[in-house]
Amino acid sequence: MASPPPSEAVMTKQDRVLCVLYLAVAAGALVATWSQNIRFFLRDGDGGLWGFIEACYANPAAASITNDVIFVLLAAWILMWVESRRLKIPHLWAYYLLSLGIAISVTFPVFLYARQRRLAVLRATAPEPAA
C-alpha cells in the first residue's frame, strides 16, 4: 500500500527545491515537445503517426536524435523499474504508458518528483539509528 503524500513539514528544503526543479523540467518539456507535435499533426498530409515516425528518420541528424531518445528512454525505464520496486512507488505502468504517449522528457521528471517525495516520507518515518 502506498504511503500518503508527505506534508511540507516532512520535506526538507532540498526536497522541495528538487521537486520544483523536476516539475519545471516536466512543464518545459511538455511545452517544447507538444508545441512541435501539434504543429506536425496540423499540417496537411502529415501521414499521421506513421508519418511522424518516418520524419524521425528523415535524415541522419533526425535519426541520431531519435535513436538517442530511444536509448535514454530504455535507460530511464530500467531506473524507474528498479526505483519503483525499491521504494514501492505505485503505478509504474502509467509512467511507461505516458512516456510513450506524451514524452519521456515529461514523464521521467514526474517520476523523479514522485521518487523524491517517497524518499522524504521514508526518511521521515525511518527509525532512529541506535547510538
Each domain of the chain, given as residue ranges in start order, spans 13-122
Residue 118, C-alpha cell as written in the block: 517517497
Quick one: which of 35, 3, 1 has its CA closest to 114?
Answer: 3
- Beta carbons of 106 and 22 less than 8 angstroms apart: no
pLDDT digits (tens, 9 = 90+) for 34-70: 999 999 999 999 899 999 999 999 999 999 999 999 9
pLDDT band per the 50, 70, 90 thresholds, residue 128: confident
